[in-house]
Amino acid sequence: ATPWTELQQLVGVDYAPHLTAGAGFEYTGNPQFPPTYFYGTLGYNFDSSSNVSIFAGQRRGGLRCVSGVCRVYPPFEGVRVDATIRF
């Protein structure tokens, strides 16, 4: 197996306590996948227990660890809307 390079860069702005925005770029040198991915995010916090976020663009698939939980994510291209409401 030939080693390859991966890069992930995310730039974000947080206008507390309600609005967040970000733009990202990912690169992989793995010849099995496209080399570049671009995306943007926008989120709105209604209060400390409710929020909505929009993701648009491309995301490279693979193993990702988020908050100590690791799982395999499939590649994604398109628009996704997520809402969280806690009681």
CA R_g for the chain: 15
C-alpha 69/C-alpha 83 separation (Å) is 20
Dump pLDDT digits (tens) for 65-81: 888 999 998 999 999 99
Contact status, residue 20 vs residue 41, Cβ threshold 8 Å: yes
Burial class (CB in 10 A: 0-12, 13-18, 19+), 23: middle
pLDDT at 25 over 80: yes
Mean pLDDT over residues 6-29, rounded?
95
Dump pLDDT digits (tens) for 35-75: 999 999 999 999 989 999 999 999 988 888 888 999 998 99
pLDDT at 6 over 80: yes
Backbone φ and ψ of 36, nearest 5°: -125, 150
The reported pLDDT for the residue numbered 66 is: 84
The first and second tokens of residue 65, run together, are 């660890």
